[in-house]
């Protein structure tokens, strides 16, 4: 009985994710409220399967965006990035990066909405583009630490060279782990290995 209650609580928690889905329909929730709890928990009805699928899709997209988003540094030291999302996960993404970089001003958004969050955790919505929001915030903000860092490309090269072991290069394993057909989606083919060579050229 306790386990059943815990599962039902988890469903209510998932509801916050489900409402972010691009196809969210309140009628589905209304139908679920009139269904047997056991059927809903075991995905035995069409509506319960739709409910669970929506939650998985939203959570999966948030995870993917967080995993592959690389923040850029503006001229005045603002961390920013423009993301592309089907569902309303922009605030989830920026909250994650605020926990990771709590001392910096961060701007993240999509064509739908843009968020900014400062070091105090104050989050604001903006209806302008990411670029315009960054330009506006830079008028009254600067971070000396980030301004003095090397460019993003130089930082990436430094990191890559520090991790690279020439004697252990294995192109076959690289292609096996990251097939070429996926490289174009992740930008890997644009990352330089050395000089003018790209990662898929060795």
Q: What is the pLDDT along the chain (202 residues), one digit of tens a residue?
A: 334 444 444 555 477 888 899 999 989 888 888 888 888 888 888 988 888 889 889 999 999 999 999 899 888 999 999 999 999 999 999 999 999 999 999 999 999 999 999 999 999 999 999 999 999 999 999 888 787 775 556 666 777 777 777 777 787 887 777 766 666 655 444 554 444 444 455 4
**Residue 78 sits in which domain range?**
70-147
Q: Give the pLDDT score at 194.
A: 42
On whether both 83 and 135 belong to a single domain, the answer is: yes
On whether both 134 and 156 belong to a single domain, the answer is: no
Q: Give the pLDDT score at 101.
A: 93
On whether both 81 and 44 belong to a single domain, the answer is: no
Question: Quick one: CA dihedral 195, 191, 168, 176, positive or negative?
Answer: negative
**Predicted TM-score (pTM) above 0.75:** no
- Give the end of a domain, one of 132, 147, 162: 147
Q: Give the pLDDT score at 115.
A: 96
Q: Give the pLDDT score at 186.
A: 52
On whether both 88 and 25 belong to a single domain, the answer is: no
On whether both 20 and 87 belong to a single domain, the answer is: no
On whether both 45 and 77 belong to a single domain, the answer is: no
On whether both 62 and 74 belong to a single domain, the answer is: no
Going by C-alpha positions, the residue among 46, 47, 48 that lies closest to residue 7 is 48
Going by C-alpha positions, the residue among 85, 10, 15, 92 that lies closest to residue 50 is 15
On whether both 74 and 140 belong to a single domain, the answer is: yes
């Amino acid at each position: 009985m306790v386990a059943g209650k815990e599962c039902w609580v988890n469903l209510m928690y998932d509801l916050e994710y489900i409402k972010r889905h691009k196809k969210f329909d309140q009628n589905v929730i209304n139908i679920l409220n009139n269904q047997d709890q056991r059927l809903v928990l075991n995905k035995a009805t069409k509506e319960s399967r739709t409910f669970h699928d929506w939650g998985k899709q939203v959570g999966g997209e948030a995870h993917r965006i967080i995993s592959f988003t690389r923040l850029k540094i503006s001229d005045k030291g603002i961390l920013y990035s423009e993301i592309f999302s089907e569902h309303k996960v922009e605030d989830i993404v920026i909250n994650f990066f605020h926990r990771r970089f709590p001392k910096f001003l961060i701007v993240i958004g999509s064509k739908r909405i843009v968020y900014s969050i400062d070091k105090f955790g104050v989050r604001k919505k903006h209806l302008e583009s990411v670029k315009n929001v960054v330009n506006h915030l830079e008028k009254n903000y600067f971070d000396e630490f980030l301004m003095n860092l090397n460019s993003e490309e130089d930082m990436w090269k430094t990191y890559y060279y520090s991790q690279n072991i020439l004697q252990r290069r294995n192109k076959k394993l690289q292609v096996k782990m990251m097939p070429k057909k996926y490289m174009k989606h992740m930008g890997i083919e644009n990352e330089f290995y050395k000089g003018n060579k790209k990662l898929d050229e060795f």
